Structure 1
Amino acid sequence: MHSLDAPGEPVTVHAPAGTVVGRRTGRIRRFLGIPFAEAPIGARRFAAPVPRGRFTEPFDASRHGATSQTVPLFETTTIPEPSLPGDDVLNLGVVAPDPDDDRAPFPVLVWIHGGGFLAGSPASPWYDGRAFARDGVVCVTVGYRLGVDGFGPLDGVPTNLGLRDLLLALDWVQENIAAFGGDPGRVTVAGQSAGGGAVLALLSSPAAGRRFHRAVSLSGGLFEVGEGAARDFLVRLGDRLGVPPTRAGFGGLTVDRVQRGVHLLRSERSDGPLVLGPVVGDDILPVPIADGLAVHGGGVPLLLGATGDEFDGGTPGIRDAAARAAGTRVTDTLFRAACPRAAASRRDAPAGTWLYSFEWPSPVLGGAVHCVDIPFFFDVLDAPGTAQALGARPPAQLATSMHGDLVAFVHGRSPAWESATGRPGDPAREYGRPGAAPAADTTGVFDPVVPVVSEAAEEC
């Protein structure tokens, strides 16, 4: 069996999308690589996503599907992020409890991976939803278009294609998840890093409608890229690749060549933490995200937070002082500042906003750095790559606490600590601070956040 295959015996689901054949292990079922849209190739490459037609034959969902990422952003990434070949990159995976479980129908968690809107993989073993299924939650992981193909503001091309992909995936969930035991009326959309930023963008969007009912942003941000800066980057990228910065120009190159060109150009210049990503001014994001949060999604409870160090970690002697100072600016401005800003934007929202801060320092990476909280929230401390990032003995009690809080939120319960307003002294839950309990309530953990200009960050 390939490492990307789902283990177990065949199990079949008959959904509106067609018959899907996955795998069952004990009381957990996995259905992987299910296309929710037509492959974005040919004339569809730079077009709005088109819903996938109903399967005429049983679909083999025994292994992960193709990924939008063709090459990782960096040679070594904190999260294992496999790049899988193929055209059907707009696919999703479903990990669900046994349908005979008396807790059915189950709430649904839809997970959006990170990677700076340029990279990342929904096939990471850190995103395996087995612990959620164990705890009565259907977990859906989603692939979406990245880089130029997902977020390049090209003339004649719909903007924010990556966000449009995610909206279509949420439509698929609404139409099909009941067949897998999920409750389409209890959908939580969640993500980390760029995925967390996508959650906040969708929450602020008038186009999101009632596709989801709760939201979670882990180390996300109010990520917007100025259209002028993005177009300037595309001009320089076109010069590097020898094509005009147009739909026809980039469309004449493979996705792999374009992604490699983006990564190379980023490595040579300091364009800031984001070079491509959500742009403001269309039907998806008509106004800046912070402004959109004040008028949209107010009825959707929001849980968001950041790690204590994000890009400010690193073992002393490994990162020099200048790099650490740059990491501090990125940590404070791009990630931690987004938490009180989002809470302030939602100050008048009828649904609550709750903050957390992850403080457990990885002994390997030298701090509570970007991405290391994910195995705790997913309760997958035994997943491949965790020992390399977390050390040999990450605290299981911390995973139990964090995962339990997230499961409770997805099940519709309000967090045990007070909601935030975006004012100084807001309450938050701290996870894993050395010498303290695994989870403890505190106040003012996000005060003050210094508004300085950030430099380039590495995405996990």
Structure 2
Amino acid sequence: MPDTEDVEVDTAAGRVRGRWRSDPDGRMPRSAAFLGIPFAEPPVGPLRFQAPVPHSPWQGVRDALGHGATAQRGDQGDTLIPEPSVEGDSTLNVNVFTPDPAASELPVLVWIHGGGFTSGSPASPWYDGRAFARDGVVTVTLSYRLGFDGFGWIEDAPSNRGVRDWLLALEWVQQNIAAFGGDPRRVTIAGQSAGGGAVLTLLGMPAAQHLFHGVYAISSALTDVAASRAEAFGRRLAASAGGEPTVAGWSDVDEERVLALQKAATRVAPQEMATLIDDGLTLGPVVDGDLIPRPTRESLRAGVGADKPLVLGATDDEFTMVFGGAVAKALRWVPRGLLLDRLGLDRSIRSEYLAANADVVRLGKSRLAGRVITDRLFRAGVLRVAADRGEAPTWVYRFSWPSGRFGFAEHCLDVPFFFDCLDGPGIEALAGPHPPQQLADEVHAGAVSFITAGDPGWPRHEGDAGVVRIYDARTRDEADAYATVRPLLGAVSESAAAQAM
């Protein structure tokens, strides 16, 4: 998509210069992109472990022609979604993609990237909003502090700094999106994996309710880290760094050292996946009794966010790929009962679960292990959150189309279908050589319908066996399409509710 001419817009902090873009293939109409607009001051020096500070005004015109610095550092190696790192200190930025800045009152999508709250980048070419712009939607992607800098407990620092970044970015949208053609009264927040957990966290936060009007949660990974657990981890990490768990103690520890300590302290091997499910992620939104006053699901059951429509769902085999290759070969020698013990599948419901998933059982232990982890981490959480919402407007989907690369619907597979970017880089490595454009048309159209009208186009999920949209080679709607997960609902404790990467 070649660059053509520049376009300028006035924001509350100053004027920015973006760029009109045209599509040589004619598939996409012209749209404008504004990249790397700072919504906060660089979180470095005395601001490093503090709440974000709105960016000060600038004089003249600021270029918004390239992605801003990212909180993610270094080469992430083989990733399912291409999410590049960009060097620099000013890591709190937004990217805006619009059909036309001169338009008015267009619906707005705000995207929060995933990455387990320790990695990920808003600079992914998959998150380019050109397809949404084609369909009359303004897209905003935002960055936030990751890992310990964003979510780690420090004795004299504000909690949930990464969450506060989300809030300030959403405040920026409320103040500025009209200048890009968007309507601040029609904002849908969306995200995948940790980003899906982020938007559910915001849905359950009383302090965030004025900032958005709908939620689309893809493969949601709720964390709800207990304050006591966050503090214990923060103290351990500070001790390993050789300092006190205070802002002063951490101020002399450089970023590279923090990242190395964090990585060593949070590494999870495949055989430890059940522990991850039971204990949850170490770094993520913390139930601090202030910004997040109680666990998200408790807030949803209490009716927080009940006035906002929600779409949520998961792929059928999110983490099955973890058990591929050498791990799959090793599992052939592990008795099935022992394997299921290690995966935390409660013996009281084991027979019922295996019967409900007989088709997966026939495919071997690696596929069974992947389905158990997927169900415990993601798919059981879909049903729980839908039930927590009661009569609030909720729609549920399953992404079941098997990747031409892996042979099942793995983690992240649905993201390029949501963004309708099957012509983007890295797609074949995830989806195989010929992913179906018709399926992308259907997934994307449902998202556009939800963002513009508050309804994705299939029946609401009502009751225990509600209707589910199944995205597969043939898209269809079925009642109780998560029935194979149901044996888990009475067996998995509340503390083990959907946690993930």
Aligned-residue offset at 1:392: 1.2
Q: How does 1:221-260 map to 2 (within 5 A)?
A: 221-260=221-260
1:169 to 1:100, Cα distance in 2 relative to 1, 3 A = closer
Q: Which runs of 5+ in 2 are unaligned?
A: 23-29, 332-338, 340-365
Q: How does 1:57-456 map to 2 (within 5 A)?
A: 57-71=60-74, 75-99=77-101, 104-267=104-267, 270=272, 272=276, 274-294=281-301, 295-313=303-321, 317=325, 319-320=327-328, 321=331, 327-349=370-392, 352-421=393-462, 423-432=463-472, 434=473, 437=474, 439-447=475-483, 448-449=485-486, 450=488, 451-452=491-492
1:10 to 1:335, Cα distance in 2 relative to 1, 3 A = same
Matched residue SS, 1:208 = helix
Taking the aligned partners of 1:221 and 1:49, their CA distance within structure 2 comes to: 24
Q: Of residues 28, 33, 53 in structure 2, which corresponds to 1:30?
A: 33
Matched residue SS, 2:208 = coil
Q: Which runs of 5+ in 1 are unaligned?
A: none
Aligned-residue offset at 1:363: 2.2
- Greater shift, 321-330 or 12-21, is seen at 321-330
Aligned-residue offset at 1:346: 1.1
Answer yes or no: is the 8 Å Cα contact 1:314–1:366 preserved in 2: no
Output the TM-score relative to the length of structure 2.
0.84
Answer yes or no: is the 8 Å Cα contact 2:222–2:498 preserved in 1: no
Larger helix percent:
2
Taking the aligned partners of 2:151 and 2:438, their CA distance within structure 1 comes to: 39
Amino acid at match of 2:221: G
Return the index of the structure with the highest Cα Rg: 2
Amino acid at match of 1:67: T
1:328 to 1:251, Cα distance in 2 relative to 1, 3 A = farther
Taking the aligned partners of 2:35 and 2:173, their CA distance within structure 1 comes to: 14
1:109 to 1:266, Cα distance in 2 relative to 1, 3 A = same
Superposed CA offset, 1:348-392 (max 9, x none): 43xx10000101111213310111100000000111111111111
Taking the aligned partners of 1:202 and 1:458, their CA distance within structure 2 comes to: 17
Matched residue SS, 1:215 = strand
Aligned-residue offset at 1:49: 1.0
Aligned-residue offset at 1:127: 0.8
Counterpart of 2:334 in structure 1 is: none
Superposed CA offset, 1:323-366 (max 9, x none): 655543431122112211111111143xx100001011112133
Percent of aligned pairs with the same residue?
A: 48
RMSD: 2.3
Aligned-residue offset at 1:187: 0.5
Taking the aligned partners of 2:102 and 2:39, their CA distance within structure 1 comes to: 26
Matched residue SS, 1:8 = strand
Output the TM-score relative to the length of structure 1.
0.91
Taking the aligned partners of 1:47 and 1:201, their CA distance within structure 2 comes to: 20
Aligned-residue offset at 1:116: 0.6
Matched residue SS, 1:428 = strand
Answer yes or no: is the 8 Å Cα contact 1:425–1:443 preserved in 2: yes
Superposed CA offset, 1:48-106 (max 9, x none): 1111122222111000001111136x5321011111111111101001002456xx431
Taking the aligned partners of 1:213 and 1:398, their CA distance within structure 2 comes to: 27
Amino acid at match of 2:428: A
Answer yes or no: is the 8 Å Cα contact 2:399–2:471 preserved in 1: yes
Answer yes or no: is the 8 Å Cα contact 2:404–2:434 preserved in 1: no
Answer yes or no: is the 8 Å Cα contact 1:30–1:93 preserved in 2: yes
Taking the aligned partners of 1:401 and 1:305, their CA distance within structure 2 comes to: 15
- Greater shift, 314-323 or 339-348, is seen at 314-323
1:70 to 1:336, Cα distance in 2 relative to 1, 3 A = same
Amino acid at match of 2:33: R
1:455 to 1:286, Cα distance in 2 relative to 1, 3 A = closer
Aligned-residue offset at 1:413: 4.1
Taking the aligned partners of 1:375 and 1:318, their CA distance within structure 2 comes to: 28
1:455 to 1:204, Cα distance in 2 relative to 1, 3 A = closer
